[in-house]
Structure 1
């Protein structure tokens, strides 16, 4: 058999295929468990978030100014008075979320996130499902063609995520109110915790690491940016953890606001 010589152009997506094996995989461990858990976890979040975004109810607690992050900023003409901190100008329609300006940007920020790419590439697209496990696709083009080439605009969605995180922070600050003035309740603790963790996820983004320390030839000439880069790099090592933790805190925060707004539970007050 004539040997195949790999030239310099046959690399990456143009490399020759792997040798065919008599079995689908040589792995004997339960490699399918992590992809399965990822499918279950992300599916639960997508289903819950979609339902709540279009429910258009139980998102605002007027007494304590609790606003769920799924409705922030609330800019629809249907938003309750007090919940629209930046005005109401979007049409009120059942198919248009009250936070129609922010939710698509946040969705695109997470979809193009480096960690989430790995998560859904392996779990939903099986490309590949796990290390040393062949993928079912006959061809692989990576992120060189539509639609996956659009993953490269992730850096721009990062800026939008920063702005929305600032808005969420503003919402959490406004929530320190009660009918008597300053107030503090369990809801405040949940809102602040969620905001802090959202900031950790946003700032641990690979794009943020590039913004703080990218395009520099000499760190010694830019001590401030180098200091920022080291801090962001430390967060970046936990980007996966923050990605999953914030999915949980978003659901928890929204569910808590829903329960208080619907009257199912009362907000335990510490002050006010």
Structure 2
């Protein structure tokens, strides 16, 4: 093995803190603020155990989907109630939220975001690394990042459930078809979640990976091309869906709690 092929024993060092003249601190600061606020909101709402279902219009917030606890309010448990009464810190949607959290935690974009924002590893390109050692993602716990492709499968299944919830949300006052602002919000959120899920790097590999010749697989090549276009916007979907989840949950909570009335468009 030549010296060029030998792995580096330590990280590259910059004598200067950085030679950059732009406002490179804005991105890591933005990430810390947004991620901290979102985690705080999601944690409180997931453990609240109320204001998540609007029976009149069949609105179910994504933070409680699927609701599978015996404590779920009538009508909200679309797939059965097979979890017993549990401590408050275990959410009603205990079979989905952990996988969604792990999917986002191991996401390539989120890794970049929180590595830079929370760990400063490094804070930005061409900025001096504050840590003396770097082992990559070869040791516990970061070796678990390699499970991302499996968490993607769970996230895709949960996206189907969110789509099902969005379809049920077209429920009218008389029991028939109806459209409300909540219906549109839940559909928009489901579409954005699909954008985030399908733009995932793992999805791109699943669709077009392990092929030696694209010309012999024109359908998969076309699908790979479409996913590749979405993949260019993966970071945007990752951030936008944080907002869409909060908007969907907050709207359902306000309607469920009686703070506002659903704006009905039809029936």
TM-score (norm 2): 0.96
User: What are the superposed Cα offsets for residues 50-102 of structure 1, whole Å, 9 maximum, x if unpaired?
Assistant: 00000000000000000000000000110001000000111223121000010
Aligned residues: 264
Residue 57 of structure 2 aligns with which residue? Answer: 64
State yes or no: 1:26 paired with 2:19.
yes
Residue 34 of structure 2 aligns with which residue? Answer: 41
Deviation at 1:254, TM superposition (A): 0.2
Residue 113 of structure 2 aligns with which residue? Answer: 119
Deviation at 1:28, TM superposition (A): 3.4
Listed as ranges, the gaps of 5+ residues in structure 2 are: none
Which 10-residue stretch deviates more, 172-181 or 235-244? 172-181
User: What are the superposed Cα offsets for residues 171-223 of structure 1, whole Å, 9 maximum, x if unpaired?
Assistant: 11111112311111000000000000100000000000001100001111111
Tell me if the contact between 1:109 and 1:154 (Cα under 8 Å) persists in the aligned partners.
Answer: yes
Alignment of 1:23-172 (within 5 A): 23-93=16-86, 94-172=88-166
Tell me if the contact between 2:116 and 2:123 (Cα under 8 Å) persists in the aligned partners.
Answer: yes
The structure 1 residue matched to 2:212, chosen from 207, 217, 226, is: 217
User: 4+ residue runs of structure 1 moved beyond 2 angstroms?
Assistant: 8-11, 14-20, 23-30
Listed as ranges, the gaps of 5+ residues in structure 1 are: 1-5
User: What are the superposed Cα offsets for residues 133-185 of structure 1, whole Å, 9 maximum, x if unpaired?
Assistant: 11211100111111111101100000000100000000111111123111110
Residue 7 of structure 1 aligns with which residue? Answer: 3
Residue 203 of structure 1 aligns with which residue? Answer: 198
TM-score (norm 1): 0.94
State yes or no: 1:266 paired with 2:266.
no
The 2-side partners of 1:162 and 1:17 are apart by 37
The structure 2 residue matched to 1:194, chosen from 189, 192, 207, is: 189
Deviation at 1:20, TM superposition (A): 5.2
The 1-side partners of 2:79 and 2:143 are apart by 34
Tell me if the contact between 2:10 and 2:133 (Cα under 8 Å) persists in the aligned partners.
Answer: no
Residue 234 of structure 1 aligns with which residue? Answer: 229
**Alpha carbons of structure 1 residues 17 and 168: separation in structure 2 relative to 1, 3 Å:** closer
How much is the aligned-residue C-alpha RMSD, in angstroms?
1.3
Tell me if the contact between 1:70 and 1:254 (Cα under 8 Å) persists in the aligned partners.
Answer: yes
- Residue 120 of structure 1 aligns to a residue whose secondary structure is helix
The 2-side partners of 1:247 and 1:145 are apart by 29
Deviation at 1:15, TM superposition (A): 4.5
